[in-house]
Amino acid sequence: SDSHFPVPISPCHVDYSFHYPQLVSSDQVDSNKKIQFADVGCGFGGLLISLSTLFPETLMIGMELRDKVTEYVKERISALRATNPGQYQNISVVRTNSMKYLPNYFGKGQLSKMFFLFPDPHFKEKNHRRRVISPHLLDEYAYVLEIGGIIYTITDVEELGEWMNSCLASHPLFEALTVVELGADPVIKLLSTATEEGQKVARNGGQTFQAVYRRIVPSQ
Ligand code: SAM
């Protein structure tokens, strides 16, 4: 249950020197460097590892509910740091329930990218409230995203893809990226290739459905 993992009481209580020891020293309590990317339900961490070298200056974190999976990602990152000195210092992982504790980790407008790759589908109507993309949770995501920040979603479940797209399309604080913008974004191709789930879907020849939206200022 939730009582088995610690939760920071506010974003200023997130221990940056623990997550990024080489980049943020423990006496640098007022460091301006903030986590900017969040991979929500990061699973085995493939996306973080790909993003780490693509955006070496950006601090990013994976949020994962399963204890063993989180421990695996921690070990994977430690091993990469050990064998590639100076690299993979900007990625970390935390065991948490993102649907409950996201505001404990990130302040208003802090994030520039949020990822929701192959989230659990929760097929039954009565379980839709457990989906990580919902009208209510999008209010929270809009709060922690900066203006212009991007939310990336992908799934191989068509019904969930339609659901995520329609939640985002109906929300006043999000607007879809255009085809040209999608083509220019180097992160897009990672959505279906970088994670373990994406690779599994690709191996099985499955179709994917993505929805990528930008945080905007509300129109008057
Ligand atoms: N994104 C990864 C990928 O593409 O390989 C993992 C996809 S997996 C199907 C969904 C993951 O979300 C699981 O690892 C699950 O434990 C995690 N998860 C589900 N609900 C969560 C929550 N409320 N907070 C954090 N992680 C959650």
pLDDT tier at 187, thresholds 50, 70, 90:
very high
Longest Cα pair distance anywhere in the chain, in angstroms? Answer: 53
> Is the predicted pLDDT of residue 32 greater than 80, yes or no?
no
> Is the predicted pLDDT of residue 111 greater than 90, yes or no?
yes
Alpha-helical (H) ranges within the chain are 16-19, 46-54, 67-83, 98-105, 135-144, 158-170, 179-184, 188-193, 196-203
Please report which helix (H) or strand (E) contains residue 153, including its range. Answer: strand 145-155
**15/20 Cα distance (integer angstroms):** 9
Question: Is 120 assigned a catalytic role?
Answer: yes
User: What is the domain partition of the chain in residue ranges?
Assistant: 2-215
> What pLDDT, on the 0 to 100 scale, is given for residue 40?
98
Tell me, what amino acid is at 56? Answer: P
DSSP-assigned beta bridge partners for residue 210: 154
> Is the predicted pLDDT of residue 4 greater than 90, yes or no?
no
- Mutate which of 2, 5, 7, 42 for ligand 1? The one with the most ligand atoms within 8 Å of its CB, which is 42
Across the range 34-45, mean pLDDT stands at 98
ipTM of the complex: 0.99
> What pLDDT, on the 0 to 100 scale, is given for residue 3?
57
Q: What is the CA radius of gyration of the chain?
A: 17
pLDDT tier at 220, thresholds 50, 70, 90:
confident
Across the range 130-150, mean pLDDT stands at 97
**55/87 Cα distance (integer angstroms):** 11
The Å distance, Cα 176 to ligand 1 centre, comes to 24
> What pLDDT, on the 0 to 100 scale, is given for residue 128?
87
| Mean model confidence pLDDT for the chain | 95
The DSSP call for residue 218 is: P
For the residues of 60-100, what is the DSSP string, one character each? EEEEES-HHHHHHHHHHHHHHHHHSTTSSTTEEEEE--HHH
The Å distance, Cα 69 to ligand 1 centre, comes to 9
> Is the predicted pLDDT of residue 28 greater than 90, yes or no?
no
DSSP-assigned beta bridge partners for residue 64: 95
One of 15, 27, 30, 120 is an active-site residue; which one? Answer: 120
Across the range 116-128, mean pLDDT stands at 92
CATH 3.40.50.80, domain 2-215, yes or no: no
Give residue-wise pLDDT tens across range 50-81: 999 999 999 999 999 999 999 999 999 999 99
> What pLDDT, on the 0 to 100 scale, is given for residue 129?
87
